[in-house]
Structure 1
Amino acid sequence: MARKDDDRRPQGIAELFQSTRDMMEATPAAGIQAREFWERQERILAESETFARAWFRRRNEATQAAVHACEKLAGSGSGNPQNVIEVLSEWQRGSLERMTTDAREYGELLARCSGVLFAGFASAGGFGAAADGKTGRGRDTR
């Protein structure tokens, strides 16, 4: 198919790379922003990995606690209702503590990752940042 003069779409991979390179050369700040973007991505991945490792450690503890509770019930006889209640209460208490820690650490993860993202966004001129780097908060914009 013949290419029209007004058709600006790249026709091949080489032309696509050329147009990308031209765009980057036209805006030197784009290279800096791209580098900062990937650095922020790296920090977010590191934070997520730290959270995931702790989460899996707690899941392992939960499994071990459940096995321990089953062994206690099987070993001491589950015929004693008071013993059953005590064992299950102990297991539930540990589970609630782990879930509370999960929720707290997840909230902290979100806060840290949001901080990383929004710090980059503000430095790139987002949220009403002025050319002088000031956010313009408190100004009357009417």
Structure 2
Amino acid sequence: MNTTKGKLQNILTSIKTLRMKPLDFILVICLMVASFTPFLLLGGEHGTSRQAQLRVNSQVIKTFDLTKDQTYTYQDADGDINKIEVRDGRIAIVYANCGDQICVRKGFINQTGQTIVCLPHKLVIEVMPSGNDDENRIIDY
């Protein structure tokens, strides 16, 4: 019994000695601010783009102007169908006859570098950079 009581006293003594000193508190605050610095410096640079590219088997099929609302249906010789919609400066695949429907569930995108991929149809839609915006590209998989 005395050993249990002695262990408990040792634990309580250890906890009391771990109190934060003022400099420790300042160090923790500085580290927290430093951890958010990359987000604050780099977070707001990714802008929206005005065009998107439809590629099938790495070949550009169509370039979309995201400032104009439109609907486009891609159909290949095998009967693969993807209905693409541009609305309010964003683009999405709203219908596909593939089995997994991942491309449809992705929804609308408009940030430079974002992609929608339909693997069964080997189709990729990528929001392209405007002008010299290539360094601000988001890689989105």
Same fold (TM over 0.5): no
Higher strand share: 2
Larger Rg: 1
Higher helix share: 1
Q: Which protein has greater RCO, CA pairs closer than 8 Å, 6+ apart?
A: 1
* Normalised-by-shorter TM-score class: under 0.3
